[in-house]
């Protein structure tokens, strides 16, 4: 690269930095963020557990409540539980809906899970609440949406929440501060690759 190219590059990057610095300086609000990870692509829960790890890295308490999913063994649970009493993990589901095939049982399991979630959503000492697969429970009307929205709204002002699962309800999307849709471009499952420990669970 010639000296002239380097000069032009520096000027371009300085202009970009000035814009970025100005934009960052305008953001002054501090509050708990309600995040929703939805969409047909892989990685919604994985991203939520990444946020949990980040929060734990700051010494903040995390509560994870899993809806629908049963108490099957996953790699993230023992990994996060190494943080001791900073992590509370509640697997409250009895398996995916196509496995239980019992709506009343699924509703009862979701109601029990929501009671645990609400307890976490009322605690000032909890920095992050992960509501894994809550979108699925809401999609099948296993929980009343308006109650869920009201309980989320009533949480401590600085508490962060991340909700995962496909088909997020429009009302939840409207209430959220951050919505990320995972899109499906290609999935190895379609090519016959089975779920494997350390990658899927």
Other residues' Cβ atoms within 10 Å of the Cβ of residue 143: 19
How confident is the model at residue 96, as a pLDDT?
A: 53
How confident is the model at residue 28, as a pLDDT?
A: 86
Q: How far apart are CA 130 and CA 96, in angstroms?
A: 18
Instruction: pLDDT band for 3, please (50, 70, 90 cuts).
Output: confident
Tokens representing 152? 């989320």
Say whether pLDDT at 104 is over 60.
Answer: yes
How confident is the model at residue 99, as a pLDDT?
A: 56
Question: Which tens digit of pLDDT belongs to each residue from 124-172?
Answer: 999 999 999 999 999 999 999 999 999 999 999 999 999 999 999 999 9
Q: DSSP letter at 195?
A: P
Task: For residues 78-100, give the mean pLDDT.
Answer: 82
Residue pair 172/151 in contact (Cβ under 8 Å)? The answer is no
Question: Which tens digit of pLDDT belongs to each residue from 9-26?
Answer: 888 888 888 888 788 788
Question: Which tens digit of pLDDT belongs to each residue from 179-194?
Answer: 999 999 998 888 899 9
How confident is the model at residue 200, as a pLDDT?
A: 82
Say whether pLDDT at 70 is over 90.
Answer: no
Task: For residues 23-39, give the mean pLDDT.
Answer: 91
The residue among 130, 126, 117, 152 whose CA lies nearest residue 58 is 126
Show Cβ contacts of residue 96 under 8 Å, excluding neighbours closer than 6 positions: 68, 69
How confident is the model at residue 52, as a pLDDT?
A: 97
> Where does 32-191 sit in CATH, by number?
3.40.50.300
Task: For residues 86-95, give the mean pLDDT.
Answer: 86
Mean pLDDT of all residues in the chain?
Answer: 91
**How many angstroms from the chain centroid is the CA of residue 199?**
18
The residues facing 37 across adjacent strands are 164, 180
User: Higher confidence at residue 176 or residue 103?
Assistant: 176
Domain residue spans in the chain? 1-30, 32-191
**pTM for the structure as a whole:** 0.87
């Amino acid at each position: 690269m010639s000296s002239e190219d380097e000069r032009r590059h520096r000027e371009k990057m300085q202009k970009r930095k000035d814009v970025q610095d100005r934009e960052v300086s305008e953001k002054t609000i501090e509050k708990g963020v309600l995040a929703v990870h939805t969409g047909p692509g892989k990685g919604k829960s994985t991203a939520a557990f990444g946020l949990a790890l980040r929060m734990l890295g700051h010494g903040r308490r995390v509560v994870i409540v899993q809806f629908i999913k049963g108490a099957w063994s996953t790699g993230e649970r023992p990994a996060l539980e190494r943080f001791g009493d900073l992590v509370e993990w509640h697997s409250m589901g009895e398996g995916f809906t196509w496995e239980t095939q019992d709506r009343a049982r699924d509703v009862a399991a979701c109601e029990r899970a929501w009671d645990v979630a609400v307890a976490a959503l009322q605690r000032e000492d909890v920095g992050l609440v992960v509501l894994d697969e809550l979108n699925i429970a809401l999609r099948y009307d296993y929980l009343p949406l308006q109650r869920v929205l009201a309980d989320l709204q009533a949480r401590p002002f600085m508490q962060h929440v991340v909700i995962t699962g496909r088909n997020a309800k429009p009302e939840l999307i409207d209430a959220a501060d951050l919505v990320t849709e995972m899109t499906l471009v290609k999935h190895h499952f379609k090519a016959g690759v089975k779920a494997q420990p350390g990658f899927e669970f």
